[in-house]
Amino acid sequence: MTEVRAEMVANVWQVVASEGDAVADGDTLVILESMKMEIPVLAEAPGTLTKLAVAEGDVVQEGDLIAVIE
Amino acid sequence: MTRAVTVGLRATVRAAVTEADTATAMGSGDVPVLATPRLLALAEAAAYAAVAPQLADGLTTVGTSVSLEHRRASPLGTEVVVEAELTEVDGSRLVFGFIARVDGTDDVVLGAGTVERVVLDRARFIARARARDS
């Protein structure tokens, strides 16, 4: 199981993937927005996206869970 | 970024202080001297200009952070020159130092500080900003 966590305080701009999706290492899961920039959050391992913990418009803090890949 | 965005890039902007540049006119105060936000605009313009020629088509920079000391009042007619230099490149984040002087002098410093700008795609940025408003 791989947990994907936020590396900074940010707004969730777009949720690209859906729970249940098969993802490859490097696939974009969500796009965060911080300091006017778009920051893609990528899958860090191949597998199935079993949990997507954020929705568009959410604010995430550093370390917050974004997704779980199994 | 197809061309090199490297530390040391610099640009200079000049402006004479007119009525429109004063704190009174800009609403930032009630004295007829160069407004601090106008000085900041010159600093941002110089920072923007320092790297703009290096950016690939479709890319631009936008401001994200600033630190500014406004040390000396500049009355109407003062010729102001602001030079910005790229001092740090951290991925898309660019840090510039700037110094503002009375034009033609080396030692009369009006102000100084730093500005940070980030490189991004202009069209995507505008679309994203508009989407937020709807």
Residues in chain B with CB shorter than 8 Å from the CB of A33 are: 128
Domain borders along chain A are 2-69
The answer to whether B58 and B127 are in contact (CB under 8 A) is no
Put simply, whether B92 touches A (Cβ < 8 Å) is yes
Contact B115, B63 (CB under 8 A): yes
Q: Give the C-alpha separation, A62 to A26, whole Å.
A: 20
- Chain B nearest CA to A50, separation (Å): 28
H/E segment holding residue B37: helix B36-51
- Radius of gyration in angstroms for the set of CA atoms belonging to chain A, rounded to a whole number: 11
Residue A10, classed as helix, strand or coil, is strand
Pairing label, strands A47-52, A65-69: antiparallel
- Fold classification of A2-69 (topology level): OB fold (Dihydrolipoamide Acetyltransferase, E2P) (2.40.50)
Predicted local distance difference test score (pLDDT) of residue B2: 54
Task: Test B120 with A33 for CB contact under 8 angstroms.
Answer: no
Please, what are the domains in chain B?
A: 10-133 (3.10.129.10)
Q: What are phi and psi of B19, to 5 degrees?
A: -55, -40
| Cβ contacts of B64 on chain A, cutoff 8 Å | 35-36
Min Cα distance A38 → chain B (Å) is 8
The residues, any chain, with a CB within 8 Å of residue B10's CB and separated by 6 or more, are B50, B83, B84, B85, B86
Q: Report yes or no: A25 and A43 within 8 Å, Cβ to Cβ.
A: yes
Say if the Cβ atoms of A36 and B92 lie within 8 Å: no
Question: What pLDDT score does A62 carry?
Answer: 96
Contacts of B125 in chain A (CB under 8 A): 36
State ipTM. 0.79
| Residue B60 confidence (pLDDT) | 97
List the pLDDT tens digit at each of the 134 positions of chain B: 457 999 999 999 999 999 999 999 999 999 999 999 999 999 999 999 999 999 999 999 999 999 999 999 999 999 999 999 999 999 999 999 999 999 987 779 999 999 999 999 999 999 999 987 65
